[in-house]
Amino acid sequence: MDTPAKNSARRFRIGVFPGFGVWTVLFFVYLYVPILILVFFSFNGGKSATVWSEFSLRWYQTAFNNADIQRAAYNSLVIAFVSTGIAVVVAVLAALVTSRGGEFRGKSLAYGTIMLPLVVPEIVTAVATLSFFAALGISWGAGNLIIAHTVFCIPFAYLPIRARLEGMDSSLEQAALDLYANEWRTFWFVTFPLIMPGIISGATLSFIVSIDNFIISLMVAEPGVTTLPIYIYSLVRLGVTPEVNAVSTVMLMISIVFVAISYIAGKR
Amino acid sequence: MKPQKLSMMVSAISLMTASAVSAEDLFIYNWTDYTAPELIESFEKETGIDVTIDTFDSSETLLAKLKQGGAGYDITVVGHNYVPILVSEGLIQPINAPDLNGGGNIAENWADPEWDAGNVYTVPWNWGTTSFAVDTSVYDGDIDTYEIFFNPPEGLSGSLGLLQSSEYTIQFAQLFLGLDRCNENPEEMQQVLDLLLAQKEHVKLYSSAGVIERMISGDTAMHQIWNGDTMRARGDKPTLQYAYPKEGVIAWFDNLVVPTGAQNKDNAIKFIEFMLRPENAALQSNYSGFGNGISGNEEMMDPTLSSAPEIVAPADVKLYPTAQCSEEAIRLIDRVWTKLLN
Amino acid sequence: MTIDAKFPAPKLPQIRRSADSDFFNRWARLFPSLFIIGFFMLAPILVVGTYSFLEADPYGGVRPNYSSAAYAQLVFEENLDGSWGFNPSYVKILWRSILIAGISTALCLIVGFPVAYYMARQPVDKRNFLVLLITIPFWTNLLIRTYCWILILRDTGLVNNSLISAGILDAPFKMLYTNGAILLGLVYTFVPFMILPIYASVERLDLRLLEAGHDLYATRWQVMREIILPLAKPGIIAGSILVFIPCIGAFIAPDLLGGSKKLMIGSLIQLQFSSSRNWPFGAAVTLVLLAFVLIVLMIYAMKSSGKKDLEAA
C-alpha cells in the first residue's frame, strides 16, 4: 500500500493503476487472435476454412469474381452506415431529454419504449416486422432493412450517450445560455463536444450490431437486398469455404482504412 | 416528415444499395451456394434476363416468409415435404411442367411424384439423402445399421456429431425402432426419447454448421450428414464412409416452384425450361454435388460424382422421403426435442 | 471539463421557461425515437403479443381462435395418461439462460473495466484510436469469428496441439463444447458493449478530482472506490444492460462453442417460430421474458430518478 509521502512523490502518475496497461494489452491479444487466424485461413489453398493445406490466393480471386458476395458486402455497409446515422441523431435527442430534461410524466414509459428493441428476441422482431411491412404494403427495397436496423440500433446508440450525460451537470450550458447563445449554438458548441465520446461509443455499437445482424435481416430483406450475414449464415448447408475468410479480410482492410483516416483526422 | 418525402428518401437510399434493376429481371430465392454460377451466366447470356439470387438458411424461413407475404421472388427452391403446404396455402402457382419445353425430360422416378401429382407445381432441382458418415480410420466395422449411430462402439462414442435438427434425428430413431414416422402415439414417442437420451451420452454436439470441417479435422469421427457433404469432405479425408443403414435412409427432393406473388412469371418459366435441359441439370449437379431429376445427362456428369458411393445409392437401399407431419405429431416431436436438450 | 456532484459548482441562476414550452420541447425531441420504435416495433410486437392467445396454425402462424394453451404449456404438460402435471423444462431453460447471461455480464465487467479505464486515461488521439481498434474485429462476421475460436479450442486445435507438442499435456484437454467455451464466446462477442459505455462515462474524469482524492484518501484503491466507480456507474449500468439482455437470447456461441446439448431460451423461441411451428407458444415465452426484463429496467429507471430527486433536495 502506498504511503501518502510516496503518493505525492508520484503525483504525475495519479489515476494510474498498476496492471491495467498489461491487462489492456492482454485484452487486445484476446480480441485479435481469432482475427489473425481468420486472415491466415483466407490464404488457404484447400476447400476448408479450418484445415490448412497450402498457401494460395485462389479464394481472393473467387471472391473477386463472386458478384453475389460483393453485392451482399456492399449492402451491409450501406445499411449499417445509414441506420447508424439515423439512430445516433435520434438517440442524442432522446438522451438529452431523459437525462437533462428533469422529471416528467411518462419518462419511465419513454425509457421502456426505447429499450424495447433490445429486449424483444430477434426472431420475434423479425416475424413481427415482416408481417407488419407486408400488411402495410411497405416494399422499399433496402429501405425496409434500413428501417428495421434503425429500430434495433437506437438503444445501442442511446445507452452510451445517456451514460455519458448522466451525472454531467449542466453548468457550462447554463453559462452559455446566460451569455445569450441560443439553444442551438449552445448545443453545437458546448453540449455536443462534451458528449462526443458517448456519441462515438454509441455509433460504434450501432454499427457493430447492424453489420452483424442476421435473423431480422433474413426475414425483412426484400428481393435483391441480401446482406453479408444472410449470405454467410446460409452457407451452413454446404459448409463455409475460405472465400468467406477472404471477404472478411477485405472488410477488415476497409475498416482499417476508416480507422487510419479518422486517426489522421483526429490528430490535426 | 411527409410520407412522400419519406418514400423519396427511402428510394434514394435504395438506389445506393446494389439492387439491380433492369427491364428484364428474375429473382431467385435459394439456399446459399446451391445455384451453379455458370448456370446463371449462361442463362443471362442466352435470354438477356438479369438474375438476382438471394439466399435463405432453412425451409422454415422460406415458409414463414412466403406465408407472411414478404415474398416478391419469381423462383424458389423448396423441399418436397413443403410442396403440399405451399399448395394448400396458395403460396405457389401452377406451371404445368409436362406442357413446358423439355417437360418430358423429367426422370421417370421424379415424374408425377406423390407430393405433386402430374407435376402441376414443381420441377425437380436436386435430391439427396441424409444419413451418417464414419471415419473408417477410427472404426472400420460394418456401418450398415443405425445401431452404430445410436449405440456407438468404442472410438466413436464421444466423437459423435448430430445435426441440430429434430426432424432428421427423430426420423432416424423411428426408422431404427421400426415405428411410424410422424408418430402421434405418445408412448412410442417416449421410446424415441429414451433412445435419444441414451444416445446423448455419446454425443459430442448437435450442430448443423461446420459439419464438413468437423469430419475433415477429426473433431468428430461420426456425424449425421447429407450425402453431398460427405462427398465434399471425402475429397479432403479419403477414409470417410457414408452409411446406408439397412433400416432405410431418409431422402429429400428439392423442387423449383413459382411463388404466387411472382412479378416475372414469364422469366421464371424461361428459367424452368432452361433447367429442364439435361446439360444444365448436369451443370448444377456438378456444382452442388447432389443428384438431379432430369434424365439423359448421365454422361455429362462429373465422373467423381457419377462414381461417388454417396451419390449413387446401392440398388437395394430403401429410401424414405421426409414426411410432412400433422400438428399432433409436430407437437410430440417438439416435446421430445425440448426434453432431450434439457 | 466537468465537476462531480460531490464538489458542487456554485449554483447558477436557472433559466426560467414556461412549463408549456418545456413540455413541447421534451416531447418534440423524444418524438423521433418514440415514433420509429413505436410504429415499427411496438405495433408489430403488440400483434405478436396477441398471437400468444390464439391457436397455432400447423403450417406456421396462427388461427384466429382464442386459446390459453400457450401459457398452460409454459409450466404444465399433458402426461401420457391425459392428466396434466407440472413441467419444469421451460422454467429450467429460462433459468439456465439468465444464469449464463449473468455470469457473462460479470465477466465482461471484470475484463472490460480496466480496459475502459486505461483507454480513458490516454491522450485524446490515442484514445479514439483505441476505441476504433476495439471495433475492427467486429467488421467481420460473428459466425466466422466464432469458427476461429473452434480452431483454437478444439481437441486438435491450436492450444491443445501446442501444449501437447511442448510436452506439457499428454492428451488433449477438453475445452470446446463446455460451458467455459460458451462463456468465452459470449464475452468475446459482447465485451465491447461493456467497454464503450464505461469508457464514455469515465472519460470525463477530472484529474484534479483524483488529486484531491489522493490527498484525502491516500490509497489508489480507495480513490477507485470513492471517486472512479461512482463516476463510472452510469456506464457500468448501461454496459450491463447492453450485455445481459442480448446474452439471454444469444445462440451462436451456445450452439457452436457449447455444442447445444442444452437449450437456451433464445434457441427455444427460435424453434417455436420455425420447425416446431408453435407461434403462440413462442409469443408467450417472449412476453414472459419481456415482462421480466422490462420490470427490472423500469424499477432501475424509477429508482435512479428517485435518487436524483433526493440528492437535489
Shared domain check, C294 and C271: no
User: Using CA atoms, how far apart are residues C253 and C267, in angstroms rounded to an integer?
Assistant: 11
Q: Do residue C252 and residue C118 come from a single domain?
A: yes
In a domain, residue A48? The reply is no
Q: Are residues C158 and C51 in the same domain?
A: no
* Mean pLDDT value across residues C198-210: 83
ipTM for this prediction: 0.85
Residue C301's pLDDT is what?
67
Is the Cβ–Cβ distance between C182 and C257 less than 8 Å? Answer: yes
Of chain A residues 60-89, which have a CB less than 8 A from chain C? Answer: 86, 89
- C180 in a domain, yes or no? yes
- Same domain, residue pair C179 and C57: no
- pLDDT, one tens digit per residue, over B135-194 is 999 999 999 999 999 999 999 999 999 998 898 999 999 999 999 998 999 999 999 999
What pLDDT was estimated at residue C123?
86
Q: What sections of C154-228 are H helices per DSSP?
A: 158-165, 179-202, 207-217, 220-223
Cell of A258: 476508416
Same domain, C79 and C173: no
The grid cell for B7 is 418514400
Residue partners of C291: CB distance under 8 A and separation at least 6: none
- Chain B positions touching A234 (Cβ under 8 A) are 31-32, 55-57
| Whether residue C210 has pLDDT greater than 60 | yes
Q: Is residue A199 part of a domain?
A: yes
pLDDT at C118: 94
Higher pLDDT, residue A241 or B88:
B88
**Same domain for C49 and C169:** no
In a domain, C170, yes or no: yes
Question: In CATH, what number is assigned to the domain containing residue C114?
Answer: 1.10.3720.10
CB of C281 closer than 8 Å to CB of B331: no
Would you call B10 an interface residue with chain C, using a CB distance cutoff of 8 Å? no
Residues B63-80 have a mean pLDDT of: 87
Mean pLDDT value across residues B220-240: 92
Is C120 found in the same domain as C229? yes
Q: What is the CATH number of the domain that holds A147?
A: 1.10.3720.10
C144: nearest CA partner in chain B: B210
Specify if C258 maps to a domain: yes
Q: Tell me if B205 and C177 make a contact (CB, 8 A cut-off).
A: yes
State percent of chain B over pLDDT 90. Answer: 64
Instruction: For residue C269, give the C-alpha cell.
Output: 423461441
Are the CB atoms for B77 and B57 separated by under 8 Å? no
Confidence of residue C306 (pLDDT cuts 50, 70, 90): low
pLDDT value of residue B69: 74
Does residue C18 belong to any structural domain of this protein?
A: no
Q: Is the pLDDT of residue C311 over 50?
A: no
- CA–CA separation, C203 vs C118, rounded Å? 10
* Residues C146, C227 within the same domain: yes
- Phi and psi (nearest 5°) for B36? -65, 125
C20 in a structural domain = no
Give the pLDDT of residue B216. 87
Quick check: B132 and B243 in contact, CB under 8 A? Answer: yes
User: Per the CB < 8 Å rule, is B205 touching C150?
Assistant: no
Averaged over B110-127, what is the pLDDT? 93
Interchain proximity A266–C289, CB inside 8 Å: no
| Contact with chain B for residue C154, Cβ under 8 A | yes
What mean pLDDT comes out for the span B275-302? 91
Considering the domain boundaries, does residue A97 fall inside one? yes
Q: Is residue A51 part of a domain?
A: no
Residue A146 lies in a domain: yes
If asked whether residues C156 and C59 sit together in one domain, one would say no
Show Cβ contacts of residue C17 under 8 Å, excluding neighbours closer than 6 positions: none
> Which SS3 state, helix, strand or coil, does residue B30 take?
strand
Tell me the pLDDT band of B8, cut-offs 50, 70 and 90.
low
- Say yes or no: A140 contacts chain C, CB-CB below 8 A: no
Domain that holds residue A94: 68-237
Q: Which of A39-43, A99-103, A106-110, B213-217 has the lowest mean pLDDT?
A: A99-103
**CA B142 to chain CA centroid, nearest Å:** 27
Q: Which residue has the cell 480507495?
A: C222
Q: Where do the domains of chain B lie, and which CATH numbers do they carry?
A: 23-127+252-306 (3.40.190.10), 130-248+336-340 (3.40.190.10)
- Does A104 map to a domain? yes
Same domain for C197 and C58, yes or no, is no
> Which residue in the set B206, B327, B333 is minimally distant from C259, CB to CB?
B206
* pLDDT average, residue stretch C91-96: 91
Count of A–B CB contacts within 8 Å? 142
What is the mean pLDDT of the segment spanning B248-272? Answer: 94
The residue ranking higher by pLDDT, B122 or A105, is B122
- Asked whether residue C64 carries a pLDDT value surpassing 70, the answer given is yes
Tell me A213's DSSP state: -
Strand partners, C54: C66
Q: Which residues of A touch C25 (CB under 8 A)?
A: 97, 101
User: Does A175 reside within a domain?
Assistant: yes
| Predicted confidence band of residue A66 (pLDDT cuts 50, 70, 90) | confident
C133 shares its domain with C76: no
How many CA atoms lie within 13 Å of B196's alpha carbon, on the beta-carbon side? Answer: 30
Which of the four pLDDT bands, split at 50, 70 and 90, describes residue B273?
Answer: very high
Query: With a CB-CB cutoff of 8 Å, which residues 147-206 of chain C face chain A?
Result: 147-152, 158, 188, 191-193, 196-201, 203-205
**What 8-state DSSP symbol labels residue B289?**
S
What's the half-sphere exposure (Cβ side, CA atoms, 13 Å) at A75?
32
Mean pLDDT of B236-255: 95
Is the residue at A166 inside a domain? yes
Contacts with A55 (C-beta within 8 Å, 6 or more apart), sequence order: A43, A44, A45
pLDDT at C178 over 70: yes
- How distant is the Cα of A51 from the closest Cα of chain B, in angstroms? 6
Instruction: Please determine, for residue A7, whether its predicted confidence score (pLDDT) is greater than 60.
Output: no
Pair C76, C141 in one domain? no
Supply the pLDDT for residue A206: 94
Q: Domain range for residue C312? A: 42-87+279-313
Domain membership flag for residue C6: no
Number of domains in chain C: 2
Q: Number of structural domains, chain A?
A: 1
